[in-house]
Chains A and B, each alone.
Chain A
Amino acid sequence: MEISTTRRGFIKGLIAVGTLLALPATLLAAMVRPKVAFDSKAIDASLKSLFGDASIEASDKINLKVPEIAENGAVVPITITTDIEGVESISVIIDKNPTPLSANFNLTDAVAAEVSTRVKMGQSSPVRALVKAKGKVYFTTKEVKVTIGGCGG
């Protein structure tokens, strides 16, 4: 196994080793919030912090359900489902929000690859759904038009 220098990679490594030794899955509880990814105002920096150097490619196997027009930017419903096997995480990035990364869901085998949430959007923007599976990252994008922004109050 390649030795990873990122914390996330390190924890993943721990989990992999733990599985080999049949240790309990409680190691998952050691998951750490990717603070840099959430604080970052630049999408590239968020992606780098979340996924390291993993390749990111467009996929038609992700179903991103968002309204075409959101009358109220304060509450934009989002549902993401995917047919991709072995999903580890599902993340939502709103390109034009001040801090683009909105949510990062980390899945176990016990849950289906389907999550719903509601987000705030300051203005019309592309919304990206990113799915990490087996070390690769896939994404799909949809444009959401916002008539009243949800960040100014």
Chain B
Amino acid sequence: MEDKSVKIRGKVKDGVAKVKVLISHPMETGTRRHVDSGELIPAKYIENVVFSHNGKEVLTAFWGTSVSKNPYSAFKIKSAAAGDKVGVRWSDNTGASGAKEIALK
């Protein structure tokens, strides 16, 4: 899956995988106004993110508008090995989505 919206880094140490994920997304709250026109910028933010390990969903995140632009998340998988697959799938309030899967190092 080649999806440029998601960057995943995952490293295994002593059987535990530390996974870091960056998603490029504006995370627009819907309350900000355009600098010139003064018009409200419509809300566009990620609502759901599902993290998986070898295809099994291990962590489900629900986000509101106050998660920062280009969201960063990190978590740990208790039992993992190099080569295991780690995936991320997101969807936002406008129906846009993205997904990526990588192999752990």
Which chain A residues have a beta carbon within 8 Å of chain B's beta carbons?
A: 25, 28-29, 31, 33-34, 38, 74-77, 79, 94, 97-99, 101-112, 114-121, 150-153
B13 on the interface (CB 8 Å rule)?
A: no
User: For chains A and B in complex, what number of residue pairs have CB atoms within 8 angstroms?
Assistant: 112
Interface of B is mostly: strand
CA distance A79 to B63 in the complex (A): 15
Interface string of B41-80 (1 = CB under 8 A from A): 0000001100101001111111111111101111111110
B-chain residues with CB within 8 Å of residue A76 when the two chains form the complex = 68
Q: Which residues of B come within 8 Å of A, CB atoms?
A: 16, 27, 29, 31-33, 35, 47-48, 51, 53, 56-69, 71-79
Given contacts A99-B66, A111-B78, A151-B31, contact A118 B71 (CB under 8 A): yes
Known contacts A106-B60, A108-B58, A151-B31; A120 and B67 CB within 8 A of each other: yes
- A108–B76 Cα distance when bound, in Å, is 11
User: A111-B75, A115-B73 in contact; A99/B68 too (CB < 8 A)?
Assistant: no
From B27, B66, B69, B77, A111 is in contact (CB under 8 Å) with: B77
How long is the Cα–Cα vector from A121 to B66 in the complex, in angstroms? 7
**Would you give 21 A-B contacts (Cβ < 8 Å), ordered by A?**
A29-B57, A34-B62, A75-B68, A99-B64, A103-B67, A108-B57, A110-B56, A110-B58, A111-B51, A112-B78, A115-B59, A115-B61, A115-B74, A115-B75, A116-B72, A116-B75, A117-B61, A119-B66, A120-B68, A152-B32, A153-B35
| Interface pair B73/A107, CB less than 8 Å apart | no
